[in-house]
């Protein structure tokens, strides 16, 4: 599946937001892993993480609690949405998706209250997200929290390290109130990460003595992980110090560009679709790039940039886009049909805008797909079509002779105006 622009992301990280804000760019759709999966990848790359294991049963929780043999446990419901600690489970009104306990017997009861129930947080819908797995890990005291991330950055044309000595839950506020506490270091993709770079970053984050070298070593290993798994971002928050002088990666988010799928099949097979919109799941099966939004004008476009421009101009004229739907380059008539079917599943739709610029895409193919789709699904919604490019004259003839109530537009501005007007 080709990567495409994402309008917003519930799970967007601080580092990505910071650099995107500086560079004025949007997100791309990326694979997101559960916390235990990210920790597993780090562990395999010799990155320091807590002892942990994951279970999908109460019996498994009991076995893990006895196996770990730690002084204190942290029990975490595994969902992608943030705010787990302050969430509530719908079915039993159990409070909190993150709990601490020193009693291995309590671990079993905590997991029992989480598994199979829907957890509602500030980032989920009111229906919550079903918890299918729970991670049980060693709870370590944190003496000091820092923030560290590596991500691909357009402005620097390669990887960038981002760090702050003020890690933890308030990191986004730090960027607003104390930008001098945020350190950014570009990495030459050909030369790789350098020892002096990670030592300088460790120094900037406030690590001293033996912990400075530990932190630098962790950063180097995280960079190796970043390269090995084709990540677009590895974010550690917090990268913390323990009272006994260890530097540990306590929490992580790792993101992957869909373009890496062909050589990272094992990783992409771990994707959890539980929290995804069913339409996005269905779209992925047809190699369509789809993101549901909250407006009432459906958009069918080829190319991420054109899709973003289409949504922007709809907003400019007072309308609201209902989705992002990019057909991509090698589109077929069947793809157009599936796209129309996906869009019309949304009962909030009042109009559909098709905006195609045919370079690789054949406008005639799009036109045939549109007419066949309209007839097959008995489309009754207003449909505005703007076509330009390869075989556009043939395409316009196909639409005109179809006998369907299709409104043609001369350009993007004209198309947006007509779509907004027809959606009222």
Residues serving a catalytic function are: 147, 235
> Helix or strand or coil: residue 186?
strand
Compute the residue count for the chain: 424
DSSP-assigned beta bridge partners for residue 355: 301, 386
d(CA 410, CA 387): 8
Give the tokens for residue 186: 């570009």
- Give the integer Cα–Cα distance in Å for 21 and 27: 11
Asked if residue 359 lies in contact with residue 382, where contact means CB atoms within 8 angstroms, the answer is: no
Q: How far apart are CA 64 and CA 269, in angstroms?
A: 25
Q: What 8-state DSSP symbol labels residue 67?
A: H
Check: CB of residue 132 under 8 Å from CB of residue 156.
no
Q: CA distances (Å), 274 to each of 78, 85, 165, 268, 411, in order?
A: 11, 19, 35, 15, 40
Peptide bond into 293 cis (omega under 30): no
Determine the Cα–Cα distance for residues 407 and 80; give it in Å rounded to an integer.
42
3-state per-residue secondary structure call for 71-94: CCEEEEECCCCCCHHHCEECCCCC
Instruction: Write out the two tokens for 371.
Output: 């007419």
């Amino acid at each position: 599946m080709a990567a495409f622009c994402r309008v917003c992301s519930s799970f967007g990280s601080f580092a990505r937001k910071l650099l995107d804000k500086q560079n004025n760019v949007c997100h791309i759709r990326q694979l997101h892993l559960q916390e235990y999966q990210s920790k597993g990848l780090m562990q395999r790359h010799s990155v320091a993480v807590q002892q942990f294991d994951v279970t999908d049963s109460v019996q498994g929780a009991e076995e893990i609690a006895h196996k770990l043999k730690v002084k204190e446990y942290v029990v975490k419901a595994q969902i992608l949405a943030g705010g787990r600690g302050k969430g509530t489970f719908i079915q039993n009104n159990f409070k909190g998706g993150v709990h601490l306990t020193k009693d291995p017997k309590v671990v079993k009861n905590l997991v029992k209250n989480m598994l199979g129930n829907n957890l509602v947080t500030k980032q989920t819908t009111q229906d919550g997200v079903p918890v299918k797995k729970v991670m049980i890990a060693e709870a370590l005291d944190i003496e000091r929290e820092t923030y560290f991330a590596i991500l691909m950055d357009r402005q620097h044309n390669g990887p960038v390290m981002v760090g702050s000595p003020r890690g933890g839950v308030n990191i986004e506020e730090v960027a607003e109130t104390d930008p001098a506490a945020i350190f950014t270091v570009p990495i030459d993709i050909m030369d790789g990460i350098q020892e002096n770079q990670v030592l300088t970053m460790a120094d900037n984050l406030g690590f001293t003595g033996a912990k400075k070298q530990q932190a630098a070593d962790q950063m180097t290993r995280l960079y190796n992980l970043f390269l090995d798994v084709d990540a677009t971002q590895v974010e550690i928050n917090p990268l913390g110090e323990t009272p006994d002088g260890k530097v540990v990666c306590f929490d992580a988010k790792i993101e992957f560009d869909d373009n890496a799928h062909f050589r990272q099949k094992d990783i992409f097979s771990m994707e959890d679709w539980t929290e995804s919109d069913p339409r996005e799941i269905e779209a992925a099966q047809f190699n369509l790039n789809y993101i549901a939004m909250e407006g009432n004008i459906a958009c069918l476009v080829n190319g991420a940039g054109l899709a973003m421009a289409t949504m922007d101009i709809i907003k400019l004229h007072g309308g609201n886009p209902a989705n992002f739907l990019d057909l991509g380059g090698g589109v077929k008539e069947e793809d157009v049909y599936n796209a129309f079917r996906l869009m019309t599943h949304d009962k909030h739709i009042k109009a559909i805008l098709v905006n195609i610029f045919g370079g690789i895409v054949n406008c005639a193919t799009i036109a045939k797909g549109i007419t066949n789709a309209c007839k097959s699904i008995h489309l009754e919604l207003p449909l505005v079509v703007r076509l330009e490019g390869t075989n556009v004259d043939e395409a316009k003839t196909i639409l005109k002779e179809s006998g369907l109530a299709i409104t043609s537009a001369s350009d993007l501005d004209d198309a947006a105006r007509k779509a907004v007007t027809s959606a009222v």
